[in-house]
Chains A and B, each alone.
Chain A
Amino acid sequence: MKNEKIKKNFLLKSGYLQFPIKKIILTQMNSRIFAGLIIISIITIMAITAPFITWHPPLKTLVGKPFTIPNNHYLFGTDDLGRDIYSNVIYGIRTSLIVGLSSVSIAVIIGTLIGVLAGYYRGIIEDFLMRITDMTLILPQFLLALVIVAIFGQNFQNIILAIGVVSWPGIARMVRAEFLSIKERPFIEAAKAIGLSDMKIIFSEILPNAMPAVIPYIILQINAAILIEAGLGFLGIADPNVPSLGLMLNTAQQYLMNAWWMAVFPGLMLSIIVIGLNLLGDGLVEYLNPRLRKR
């Protein structure tokens, strides 16, 4: 009897996460998604276990002689202030991923909200919101982020916020486009006919159907956010209290002739992150768009 109860409750519980991850892994996963996933998982594991795989605190100066060539103890060498480049790179990955994920989360929240309102309610709301989106879209993302950070101050939160605030318009447009097409499908009319409220229709009927098309774009957007952060760092606009791959490249350019390792390792790591995310994002775009899929 008790078992039956548990079974019933289990049966009634409804799972909403139905993005076809299982299907991708089990069946027709293409090689790009596979490669991307492997790179990203290795990098993520490195970022999470950073304290265990490094043996020098990242920002501490003079842990070794300045400009030490890579050797057994200082795997990637040391920089002009005697900081260990290896631990800075590993912690730098952490920073990159945190910036990428949190700024894109902000962008997803703003973008989805605006896209949903515009796509579902149409009319004047749509015109108004989409013109705002267009206006944000025509400003160069990088410069806008630069200006925002310059105005509000160079700290970690501001950089995340700035990148989030500049990268929502694309997401808003995509969500809106998906809503426009899904909204007209008969099952939405059926949902209206049984008396679902607008909120329920938006969040439990349309959004789960719209998200699969937007997810690859979101992954590519994480990529863009990481690059913007590195770019800002390279221009010296970064929080000096947080290890950042871009900031390391900024320092490295002054000593490029004498200490090649200061530029090579952060640059290489940045490229690997970007390549991994790009492979994953592109692979997903291809996977979810049957017309691009090779047979």
Chain B
Amino acid sequence: MEKNFFLKVVNVKKYFPVSKSFLIKSQKYVKAVDNISFSIRRGGTLGIVGESGSGKTTLARVILRLIEPTSGSVYFDNKNIFDLDKHELRKLRPKMQMIFQDPMASLNPRKKVKQILTQVFKLHTSLSNEEIYDRVLDLLEKVGLSPPELFLDRYPHELSGGQRQRVCIARAIALNPKLLIADEPVSALDVSVRGQIINLLLNIYRERGEDMIYIIISHDIALIKSMCKDTLVMYSGRMVEFGETDSIIKSPLHPYTRMLISAVPIPDPEIARTKKRIPISGEPPSLINPPPGCHFHPRCPYVMERCKVEVPQYFQVEDRLVSCFLYAQY
């Protein structure tokens, strides 16, 4: 791994065919991820936000090539991940890891915690059993499961939700990945343990943040704000805005981002009263028959004739990319 590695996503698409019948191949697709490009450098943190069904998780799975992409390329470790064969990909796996949304579902119900964790080491290292045992204990301690001996022989169903997510995090960080994608790491958890898990993720980042790329997928803007330097806003499979988190939250450009930001509750009622909220009207578009042109135009308060026909390109506004004709003059 070279010193200044990066993750570069170029025109990634993932289309799911809608119905497969025996004879007639349907031409309809759900465009779950449609032409997304971005890049992050070493030490970068990226938050991906968007409402349910906007393709955030699909994007993550495509980047890690857990599902095969329709087209595009992802450069990581100076290799195009989409060009690698099975064997090379498996070798690269320990360098890119993912924390899944539902910790219960992402742990094999018939494996004990120690089996889940030792498996990772056995697969990618040549450590002896004793060394692995020590590493597993360290790992459990690191993710806040102490005393670690107590958790070794437990099955996932014998753990609480927060503990399960800690085991998932332990599995993901076991081999010091260079790319860590956390897919809604706290959405399946109790509000009371969310804070702890977020702190754990922050600690991991602080410990070796300069040496890795962090991608956090969430629909919670507050979480993104506290953890990520950059933000990518997705809507209906497309990227609508990409830029620094602070500036996006301070002055959102795309109408959808504006609505999203204004929907975030403000803790101080004094400020909340003075702030004008933009209500989100309408509902998320159908993915099978999306509206033509800009997918957001039926809900957009600034809709123009052009939006209904043409798909907006990315317009550069200062250091941000926005996909909206309002910024076409820039």
Contacts and interface: CB of A to CB of B under 8 A. Distances in A.
Contact of A193 (B66, B132, B153): B66
B94 A189 contact: no
B282 to A, nearest CB: 31
A173 to B, nearest CB: 20
Given A189-B100, A195-B94, A196-B123, A12 B107 contact: no
Interface residues of A, number: 22
Among A192, A193, A208, which residue has the most Cβ atoms of chain B within 10 A? A193
Contacts of A192: 66
Contact of A209 (B110, B123, B168): B110
B118 A193 contact: no
A185 B156 CA distance: 15
Contacts of B168: 190
Among A18, A189, A208, A209, which residue has the most Cβ atoms of chain B within 10 A? A189
A86 B52 CA distance: 72
Contacts of A196: 119, 123
A258 interface: no
Contacts of A191: 108
A190 B171 CA distance: 9
A186 B106 CA distance: 5
B108 A205 contact: yes
A190 B152 contact: no
B105 interface: yes
B140 interface: no
Contacts of B153: 11
B41 interface: no
A190 B153 CA distance: 20
Interface in A179-202: 185-187, 189-197
A195 B123 contact: yes
B110 A190 contact: no
A197 B90 contact: yes
A8 interface: yes
A12 B64 contact: no
Contacts of B320: none
Given A11-B152, A12-B129, A190 B123 contact: no
B110 A18 contact: yes
A14 B119 CA distance: 10
Contacts of A197: 90
B321 interface: no
B274 to A, nearest CB: 44
B109 A8 contact: no
Among B106, B107, B109, which residue has the most Cβ atoms of chain A within 10 A? B106
B100 A12 contact: no
A195 B90 contact: yes
Contacts of A185: 105
A193 B101 CA distance: 14
B90 to A, nearest CB: 4
A195 B93 contact: yes
A44 B214 CA distance: 60
B106 A189 contact: yes
Contacts of B98: 190, 193
Contact of B100 (A18, A186, A209): A186
B133 A194 contact: no
Among A11, A18, A195, A196, which residue has the most Cβ atoms of chain B within 10 A? A195
B58 to A, nearest CB: 12
A208 B110 CA distance: 7
B108 A187 contact: yes
Contact of B93 (A186, A193, A208): A193
A116 B119 CA distance: 22
A194 B94 contact: yes
Contact of B102 (A186, A205, A208): A186
Contacts of B107: 187, 190
Contacts of A209: 108-110
B112 interface: yes
A187 B110 CA distance: 11
Interface string B44-79: 000000000000000001001010000000000000
A273 to B, nearest CB: 32
A12 B118 contact: yes
A186 B105 contact: yes
Nearest to A127: B22
B264 to A, nearest CB: 28
Given A189-B61, A195-B94, A12 B109 contact: no
B120 interface: yes
B93 A194 contact: yes
Contacts of B97: 193-194
A8 B61 contact: no
A194 B123 contact: yes
Contact of A194 (B115, B120, B130): B120
A171 B107 CA distance: 27
A192 B94 CA distance: 11
B28 interface: no
15 contacts: A8-B133, A12-B133, A14-B111, A14-B115, A186-B100, A186-B105, A186-B106, A187-B105, A187-B109, A189-B61, A190-B107, A193-B64, A193-B66, A194-B171, A209-B110
Interface of B: 61, 64, 66, 89-91, 93-94, 97-98, 100-102, 105-112, 114-115, 118-120, 123-124, 129-130, 132-133, 152-153, 168, 171
The 4 A-B residue pairs whose C-beta atoms are closest, nearest first, are: A195-B93, A186-B105, A186-B106, A195-B90
